[in-house]
Amino acid sequence: MSNDTSPTDASATVTPKTGYHHGDLRAQLIAAVRELVETHGPDGFSVAEAARRAGVSSAAPYKHFKDRPEILRGVVSEAMDRLRAAMEAGAAAHPVGSLEAVAAIGLAYVDFARTEPGVFRLVFGLTEGHENAPDLQVKGEGCFGVVVLAAAACLGLPPNTPEVQRRAYMLWSFVHGHSFLHIDMKTKVTTAQIDDWGYLMTISRAILATAAQP
């Protein structure tokens, strides 16, 4: 998947709905901020601009979010839901316990980073206040849990065993690093052509298709 699929540019406007329900307006504001994060970064947009894109007054966002950091946490929360859903869908497209299921989880992760690099950076860069946002911590654990379950199925072990947890962490760290190298355009340092699926299958095989080691 290429960066051509990135969210729309700064001239785009989220189409406002009429007769908003509480949840509709909140979702529209999150969508508007998500677009602005991709265009200007998490520090380069105004709440007023987000409101304009959502087709509401500049005061409207504060009926749903107490301040700018809370709006960004809302964007992160929604993004983590979508990331987990994409990872689960990737796994579901292949047999349970297969290396392909594990690789597909990784591919969903990489694709998310490429398609929404600004939001992806925000998810992993917005650390301030997370101690006061247990819901984000739970969602992060949920995303990692998708990897754990797939690794456990491959290894034939319960998900909570240390060996499964260790190998799931190894999988996550390889894919996470690969994702950031892609969006930072650092993969150009190699003359080799890096194929995502081939890379992810190689990593999955190396980590999971061997006998457990101490």
Tell me what the pLDDT averaged over the chain comes to.
84
Residue bearing the bigger pLDDT, 161 or 21: 161
- Report the chain's terminal Cα–Cα distance, integer Å: 38
Residue 11 has pLDDT above 50, yes or no: no
Please report, for residues 50, 68, 124, 129, 194, the alpha-carbon distance to residue 75 in angstroms, rounded to integers and kept in the order given: 12, 11, 12, 14, 31
Q: Are residues 163 and 110 in contact, defined by beta-carbon separation less than 8 angstroms?
A: no
Q: Are residues 213 and 207 in contact, defined by beta-carbon separation less than 8 angstroms?
A: no
pTM of the model: 0.82
Amino acid code (one letter) for 85? A
Residue 153 has pLDDT above 90, yes or no: yes
Name the range with the highest mean pLDDT among 8-22, 134-148, 185-199: 134-148
Nearest alpha-carbon partner for 113 in 176, 64, 70: 176
Average pLDDT over residues 154-164: 96
